[in-house]
Amino acid sequence: MPERFTGMGYWEIITRQMSIVTKSQQTRFKESKIAVIGCGGLGGSVIEMLSRMGVGELNIVDKDSFDMSNLNRQLMSSIESLGKSKSEVAKEKIRQINPYVKVNGFNEELNEKNLDEIIGNCDIVIDAVDNILTRVIVSRYSKEKGIPFVHGAIHGTLGQLTVFNPETISYEELFSLSSFKKELDDDTKQEILNLSQKTPPVIGPIANIIGSLEAFEAFKIITKMGKITLAPKILNIDLLDLSSLSLSEL
C-alpha cells in the first residue's frame, strides 16, 4: 500500500461526509461487516458505494462472469473484464478505490450449505440478486439469525426498496409468496423458480439508483442515522414517471 494510505488515510477518503456523521458513527461503520449477495447491476453499485462511504469489511458473492450484456448497467463491468469472475473483478476494483476495505470474494452460488460462511458473522446482508429463490433462502436465514436484510429489486425502469429485520413482516409474507410457511423442499423451490424464469429487462440508471439506496440503508442501520425504510413500507420509483416516487405500505 502506498505510504500516503497509511495512518490517517482512511479519514482523508471520507472527509467530505464527516460534517454529516459523527466520529463515533463513522467508526461503527468502519468496524462493520456487510454481505452483498450479487456483484452485478445492483451489487456493483452497492459494493462501490459502501466502500466509498468507508465500510470496514465486505463479503461479496457471485458465481457469474461478465459478458457484453452487462455493460449497460453493471458498474464493475468493462471490455477488459469480459469473461472474468464478477466477484474477483469487484474485489480488485474496491482495492483501487478504498484500500482500507477488507473484501472477501466468493466465486460461487449462495445456497443453504454456505450461508454460515458467507453471511453468518455479518452485521447486515444486502439483496442484489436477480432471482426470487435466492432471496427466499437469504431472507429466511437472515430472519432466523437476527441479521437485517436490505431488499432491492428492479424491472425495466421500475425499482423498489425495503428492509426486513426480526421484528418486521417477512419477505415471503410481504410479497404473498406461495412458499410462505412452507418447508423449502424441492417442490417448493420449483414453485419459486417458476416465478422468475424470464430474464428481466433493465436500463442502467435504475440499477444504480436502487443499489445506492440499498447501500445508504445499510449505512443508516449501522450509524443509527435517520429513519430506516422498514417493511411493510416500500420505496417505489419509476424513472419514466418521477411523480411515482412514493413510500407505500403493503
pLDDT(5) > 80:
no
What pTM value is reported for the model? 0.94
In the chain, % of residues over pLDDT 70: 97
| Per-residue pLDDT band at 89 (split at 50, 70, 90) | very high
Domain edges within the chain: 20-241
In this structure, are residues 127 and 151 in contact, taking their beta carbons and an 8 Å threshold?
Answer: yes
CATH class of 20-241: alpha beta
CA dihedral 71, 122, 237, 169 (to 10 degrees): 140
pLDDT(6) > 80:
no
* Closest C-alpha among 138, 114, 117, 115 to residue 126: 138
* Closest C-alpha among 135, 125, 134, 143 to residue 218: 125
Taking the C-alpha atoms of residue 30 and residue 193, their distance in angstroms, rounded to an integer, is 37
For position 144, what pLDDT does the model report?
97
Mean confidence (pLDDT) of the chain: 94
pLDDT tens per residue across span 182-209: 999 999 999 998 887 678 899 999 999 9
| Per-residue CA distances from 147 to 165, 172, 220 (Å) | 7, 16, 15
| Dihedrals phi, psi of 237, to nearest 5 degrees | -150, 140
